[in-house]
């Protein structure tokens, strides 16, 4: 059956009293033993249970009953629900089975090591633990710290991969965004690059004079260029090339 039947014994009581179905058909539909259905018909079983109409609660159709009554070998199927009830969202920490509770410190160690961006509240939701336990595992002060082994909580069955990915995604959004360019890697302007290249080139007067053994370099004299003389030279060069 695709759906589970509500109140199977009460449904069997109603089917026994109101249909011509065989005990085997009722037992198959209500997930009961044929002898139990026979006991219901004899009044030995479920004598104090009031019958429930599966047609009224939408779990069986009248056509399905008529089809089964015409064919003893036919087995009825539970009708699909017309209304889907949304699953109740879980509140509070996740319930952890007793057989898995001893594995929680190992899962906490794995989360702290592989996802340090997760907050304590997120780890508590994933594993179902307490903040003091998380702090003791993180600070290596847990009473069983020497025997702890980092293990994936998804593998341990403490949480699903979807829940883990969701918490990691939330933690990544809350983390500060790092700039792609670090300090000192910004681009320089053309003037700054030219000035830096010029400063690295040695000038003509740099270095010590020949015969000067004091180790001091000669003073540098910047020669001031006359703009008129420069343009005059350029004009003379151009006129020579034209001839």
Residue 15 tokens, joined: 């089917």
Q: What is the mean pLDDT of each run of 10 residues along the chain (243 residues)?
A: 74 92 92 90 81 88 92 89 58 55 86 91 88 90 88 86 89 62 50 64 49 47 56 66 55
Q: Could you tell me if 16 and 40 are in contact, meaning their C-beta atoms sit under 8 angstroms apart?
A: yes
pLDDT at position 183:
45
Query: What b/e sequence results for 77-86 when a residue is b if at least 16 CB atoms lie within 10 Å of its CB, and e otherwise?
Result: bbbeeeeeee
CA 167, distance to chain mean position in Å, is: 5
- Going from N- to C-terminal start, the domains of the chain cover 8-70, 98-174
pLDDT at position 63:
93
**What does the alpha-carbon distance between residue 121 and residue 124 come to, in Å, rounded to a whole number?**
5
Closest CA to 31 of 60, 58, 57, 1: 1
pLDDT at position 128:
84
pLDDT at position 14:
93
Q: What is the pLDDT of residues 153-181, one digit of tens each?
A: 888 888 888 888 888 888 888 665 444 43
């Amino acid at each position: 059956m695709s759906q589970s039947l509500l109140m199977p014994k009460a449904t069997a009581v109603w089917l026994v009293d109101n249909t011509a179905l065989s005990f085997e058909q009722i037992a198959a539909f209500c997930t009961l033993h044929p002898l139990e259905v026979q006991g219901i018909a004899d009044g030995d079983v479920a004598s104090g249970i009031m019958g429930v109409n599966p047609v009224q609660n939408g779990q069986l159709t009248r056509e399905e009953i008529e089809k089964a009554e015409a064919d003893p070998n036919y087995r009825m199927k539970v009708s699909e629900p017309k209304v889907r009830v949304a699953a109740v969202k879980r509140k509070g920490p996740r319930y952890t089975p007793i057989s898995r509770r001893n594995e929680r410190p190992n899962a906490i160690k794995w989360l702290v090591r592989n996802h340090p961006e997760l907050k304590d509240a997120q780890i508590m939701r994933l594993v179902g633990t307490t903040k003091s336990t998380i702090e003791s595992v993180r600070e290596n002060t847990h009473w069983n710290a020497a025997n702890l082994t980092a293990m994936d909580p998804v593998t341990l069955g403490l949480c699903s991969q979807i829940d883990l990915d969701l918490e990691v995604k939330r933690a990544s959004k809350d983390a500060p965004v790092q700039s792609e360019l670090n300090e000192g890697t910004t681009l320089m302007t053309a003037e700054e690059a030219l000035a830096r290249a010029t400063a690295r080139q040695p000038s003509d007067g740099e270095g010590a004079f020949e015969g000067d053994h004091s180790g001091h370099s000669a003073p540098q004299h910047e020669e001031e260029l006359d703009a008129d003389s420069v343009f005059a030279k350029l004009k003379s060069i151009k006129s020579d090339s034209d001839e």
